[in-house]
Structure 1
Amino acid sequence: MVELNVGTVLAVGFAIAVIIVILKTARIVPQRTNFVIERLGRYNRTLESGFHLLIPFVEKVAYQHILKEEVIDVERQACVTRDNIQVGINGVLYIQVVDAHKASYGINDYRYAASQLAQTTMRSVIGQTDLDKTFEERARINEIVVQALDEAAAPWGIKVLRYEISDIELPMSIKDALEQQMRAERERRAAIAKSEGERQAMINVSEGQKQEVINLSEAEKLKQINEAEGRAREIELIAVATAEGIRKIASSIQEPGGQDAVSLRVAEQYVKEFGKLAQETNTLILPAQLSDIGGAVAGLTEILKAKPTQ
């Protein structure tokens, strides 16, 4: 019974030893991961993703590195700007292991080192920048930090991809001053906009008055032209009617009895006009031959007879 127990224990021990040897010998490396192998305490090789066999008790996995992009939160730090304003800045750092051998033996803790280096670089950059430019030139500041970190982290097998300023905390007094400045700027813009609106309104009113004057002058011009054309047309029509009347009178004179009618008409006009001599003034003008009205009429008739002949 004792021999059976000893054999069982030996078998179990042998099985455990085999399992340990297998575990020490066979290794499966996940995707985007590197294993750094040491043989008897010295670097031997770097295993990439896949199935690998190791020499048990001689080779071991010393370091494991994930080649994916890592995000490191850079803690808040106090920075002093060029115009002596203290601000608190938080940041986020994006890094990636590109050389597992350098990341293992180039530095003890590359994550902590990258975070500390980002803080010191940020303090240096902020110290050369005014407070107003700190908000306006975040992209430029980020680029400067990334460039400095990438150069310093190259011997560590680390690639610095990006750095982003996540928050900038200002003292309360500076916040109040900035709020007053922004309020004054908004009021200034509002005053400018109001003055521009009033100016445009005045321009519109003056343009309207100008157009009104032009329209009135054009209307007056058209009115005068129409009145002149009307008067010209009136004169033309009167002249045509007068000429037509004269032609008809001349034609009537040539007909039988026309001369007698003219003589009668002349006598009537003579007597009519003679009767108006003393109506407007106190002065009375009498013809030299007042009694010889018929002779005067006869003389006028002779003149009328002579005109058509000429």
Structure 2
Amino acid sequence: MEAIISAFFLLLIAATVGSVSSAKVINQGSEALVERLGKYQKTLKPGLNFIVPFLDTIVWEESMREQVLDIKPQEAITKDNVSMTIDAVVYWRIIDLKRAYYEIEDLEAAIKNLVFTTLRSEIGGMELKDTFSNRRKINQALLNELDDATVNWGVKVMRVEIQEIKPVQAVLDSLQKEKAAEIQKQASISEAKGVANYIELVSEALKKSEIDGKEALSFLLAQRYVDANTKLGESPNSKIVFMNPGALNEALAELMKNNDDNNNGI
């Protein structure tokens, strides 16, 4: 009798322990995969679930929420053979836990490799100047490519964002030199136009003025002479060389003589 009672209690304890061990709670936003004797059995949803003790095993529990995958800077070469580094961020989520586990060995590594390949392909079809202005186009191309490729993995790529496009340092130095040269060129053109406009205004004023043209032109040229020497003196690295005023007067006299000869038809 005692043996029967003992056996009954042992079975009761085993049943209690088994029922406790078979109860599994899955948190909201997550799912879990169950295998029975090494073979897929079912997917556990959020809440209280039961599995068969000693036979069933939870092999993977994963979040079904949107996740962020940071892609480290990668090297790429543009269509015009300029080397650059690009980094991106991928926003994705699992939509089929079974596929995500059984169809691909390492899900995150597979997504990263796919991003690397697609980035290099997109950049390789663009020239350097286009990569800066077409960032949105690159993002969309990446999204389309990734979304098509990952659907068989039970994954949905929500969006892709290029964080930075940066040419290598040698290219940056070259671009800075080109920019500096362009600025200097524009400044020279502006200065030349300014001088031409100044001369034109002086010429028109002399034609309309009743005062002696020589005196007016002498005053204006002297003013330009003083301004030029003042600007030259403001430079800390410049050497100040003043023009002989006598030479300036001689040049002025010759200029006025030629002007009179032209007006008299000589």
Q: Superposition pairs for residues 104-119 of structure 1, below 5 Å?
A: 104-119=101-116
Q: What is the CA-CA distance between 1:82 and the residue it aligns to?
A: 0.7
CA contact (8 A) 1:68 1:97 kept: yes
Structure 2 residue runs without a partner (length 5+): 1-5, 203-266
Q: Superposed, which structure 2 residues align to 1:81-120 within 5 Å?
A: 81-120=78-117
Instruction: Give the drift of 1:168.
Output: 2.7
Q: Are 2:154 and 1:152 aligned?
A: no
- Calculate the TM-score normalised by the size of structure 1: 0.55
Deviation for aligned residue 1:189 = 5.9
Alignment match, 2:179:
182
Please list, as runs of the form range in 1=range in 2, the aligned pairs for 1:1-310 lying within 5 A after superposition: 21-187=18-184
Which amino acid in 2 is paired with 1:136?
Answer: S
Higher percent of residues as helix: 1
Per-residue Cα deviation, 1:119-177 (whole angstroms, up to 9, x for no partner): 01111111111111111111111111111111110000011112222223322221112
Assess, with a 3 A threshold, how the Cα gap between structure 1 residues 73 and 195 changes in structure 2: closer, same or farther.
same
* Distance change in 2, residues 1:53/1:136 (3 Å): same
- 1:187-206 CA-partner distances (Å, limit 9, x unpaired): 5666777789999999x99x
Name the CA shift for 1:94/1:191 in 2 (closer, same or farther; >3 Å).
Answer: farther
Counterpart CA distance in 1 for 2:64 and 2:37 is 26
Return the TM-score normalized by structure 2. 0.63
Identify if the C-alpha distance between structure 1 residues 199 and 120 changes in structure 2 by more than 3 Å, giving closer, same or farther. same
Q: Give aligned pairs, total.
A: 203
Please tell me the residue identity of whatever aligns with 2:149: A
Aligned residues with identical type, % of pairs: 32
User: Which amino acid counterpart does residue 147 of structure 1 have in structure 2?
Assistant: N
* Partner SS for 2:80: coil
Unaligned runs of 5+ in 1: 1-6, 206-310
Larger Rg belongs to: 1
CA offset at residue 67 of structure 1?
A: 0.9
Distance of aligned partners of 1:18 and 1:143 in 2 relative to their CA distance in 1, 3 Å threshold: same
Structure 2 vs 1, CA of residues 168 and 56 (structure 1 numbering), >3 Å: closer, same or farther? same
> 1:18 offset after TM fit, Å?
6.4
Distance 2:15 2:190 in 1: 87
Instruction: Give the structure, 1 or 2, with the largest relative contact order (CA under 8 Å, sep 6 or more).
Output: 2
Verify the 8 A CA contact 1:32 1:68 in the aligned structure 2.
Answer: yes
CA distance in 2, matches of 1:196, 1:97: 64
CA contact (8 A) 1:24 1:57 kept: no
| CA 179–19 in structure 1, closer or farther in 2 if over 3 Å, else same | farther
The C-alpha deviation readout for 1:249-293, integer Å capped at 9, x for no partner, is xxxxxxxxxxxxxxxxxxxxxxxxxxxxxxxxxxxxxxxxxxxxx
For the residues of structure 1 that align with 2:125 and 2:39, how far apart are their CA atoms?
45
